[in-house]
Amino acid sequence: MSQDVSEGPRRGRLAGRIAVISGAGSVGPGWGNGRATAVVFAREGATVFLNDRDKDSLEVTARQIREEGGIVHTSVLDVTEPAAVQTYFEETARRAGRIDILVNNVGGSRKGGAVELSLEEWDSQLRTNLTSAFLACKHVIPVMRRGGGGSIVNTASASGLRWTGAAQVGYAAAKAAVIQLSRVTAVEYASDGIRVNTVVPGQLHTPMVEARLAGQRAGGDVEKLLAQRQARIPLGFMGDGRDTAYAALFLASDEARFVTGTEIVVDGGMTVRCD
């Protein structure tokens, strides 16, 4: 069972905060962006409300947090369903009393350029990667305004900044739009004390590599794909979901009190490399 929201004070950079993290499961063992963010935020004292479509994967994340003494609540949710998202944020706000932090982490890519990608896949890519973030912002901002402010962290991708080795036009377009969604929203609601920023991960070694990307891009050869990805990174190694999580932690914390409408690129220097 989840611990009660009202349990006593905890220490950390997010002590006493209520954080909602979408996509907090993982497609496999290891540090995906959502799972890592959930665990790091809980370690830093936040009460975390987690959602994901995959109940079993979500429970793995929650179990780790509970074993470490964190406070966690879980909900199975499809963040592309407007009515379900509205209900989720209304119920979470009622249960927690407020929402201080939102991390929009849901995403996934489909291979294909403008000719190859079907219209149905294009629409699906926009719903998954862009509309999900829009819906969450739409319903959390009124809650944050009533509470006197908050921090929203959206997760984009280096694919939204430049070509990253494969044609994935739907994903790239959606993630580029997430960056601009954050910027526009940041300006509009700055006077309400709401900060909105974006983490832009590069080619990390997350469970997605083994679960999906190797089959899409390297004929199922995981080591081949890892070598291709690492070769693009000036630092010479790949990070993982924890690197995304620590960037999100900074943006969510009071240390970033004067930071809004901008991006932190977490890519080992890949997007500023010429070749």
Residue with tokens 């630092």: 235
The active-site residue, picked from 88, 171, 189, 246, is 171
Q: Which residues pair with 73 in a beta bridge?
A: 49
Nearest CA among 178, 234, 242, 231 for reference residue 207? 242
Quick check: 233 and 203 in contact, CB under 8 A?
yes
Model pLDDT, residue 8: 41
Annotation: CATH topology of 18-265: Rossmann fold (3.40.50)
What is the tens place of the pLDDT at every residue in 57-114?
Answer: 999 999 999 999 999 999 999 999 999 999 999 999 999 999 999 999 999 999 999 9
Q: Any idea where the domains of the chain sit in the sequence?
A: 18-265
**171 flagged as catalytic:** yes
Given a cut of 60, whether residue 158 has pLDDT beyond it is yes
Model pLDDT, residue 74: 98
Task: Please give the mean pLDDT across all residues of the chain.
Answer: 92
Residue type, 266: V
Nearest CA among 213, 198, 97, 126 for reference residue 156? 198
Q: Which helix (H) or strand (E) holds 58?
A: helix 55-67
Q: Which helix (H) or strand (E) holds 200?
A: strand 194-201
Identify the DSSP state of 165: S
Taking the C-alpha atoms of residue 90 and residue 150, their distance in angstroms, rounded to an integer, is: 16
Taking the C-alpha atoms of residue 187 and residue 43, their distance in angstroms, rounded to an integer, is: 31
Confidence of residue 161 (pLDDT cuts 50, 70, 90): very high
**What percent of the chain clears pLDDT 90, i.e. is strictly above it?**
81
